[in-house]
């Protein structure tokens, strides 16, 4: 794959990953609020950052931030860095992560949230092409 295609693939994967993350965040918030009542934006952010039940979602947000930082580098970036980031996206969506809790939560989201399933499939398809 040439450099421009690799960059474009990473950019598209990042955008899909962001949508997937948002979809799963919304689902988790909805689920949490149905048990504990409505949350303010600040309360929800606090849960996302500190509550162990939301830790699985941090894997997505940290990878998105890492990709954004790569694209924001003023001195450009090596193709190897782009390929490494694509590899991390691939590992995330293929659930090679040894973290059982992460896999269980992610699989549950894919099985129960049609939009999450669709975005997951879109990312996997993009990365195969």
Q: What pLDDT is stored for residue 76 in this prediction?
A: 79
Residues 81 and 126: their CA atoms lie apart, in Å, by 18
pTM of the model: 0.91
Question: If DSSP codes are grouped into helix, strand and coil, which group holds residue 95?
Answer: coil
The runs of H, that is alpha helices, within the chain are 3-36, 41-50, 55-72, 79-93, 100-112, 114-128
For the chain, the average pLDDT equals: 93
Does position 75 have pLDDT exceeding 90, yes or no? no
Average pLDDT of 104-110?
Answer: 96
Count of domains observed in the chain:
1
Q: Compute the average pLDDT of residues 4-33.
A: 95
Distances (CA, A) of 12 to 5, 18, 33, 38: 10, 10, 32, 33
Domain range holding 75?
Answer: 3-128
């Amino acid at each position: 794959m040439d450099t421009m295609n690799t960059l474009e693939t990473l950019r598209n994967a990042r955008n899909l990953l962001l949508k997937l993350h948002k979809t799963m965040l919304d689902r988790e918030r909805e689920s949490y609020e149905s048990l504990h009542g409505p949350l303010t934006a600040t309360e929800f952010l606090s849960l996302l950052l500190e509550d162990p039940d939301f830790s699985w979602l941090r894997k997505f947000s940290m990878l998105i931030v890492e990709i954004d930082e790569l694209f924001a580098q003023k001195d450009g970036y090596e193709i190897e860095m782009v390929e490494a980031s694509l590899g991390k996206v691939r590992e995330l969506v293929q659930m090679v992560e040894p973290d059982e809790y992460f896999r269980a939560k992610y699989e549950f989201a894919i099985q129960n949230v049609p939009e999450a399933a669709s975005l997951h499939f879109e990312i996997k398809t993009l990365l195969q092409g």
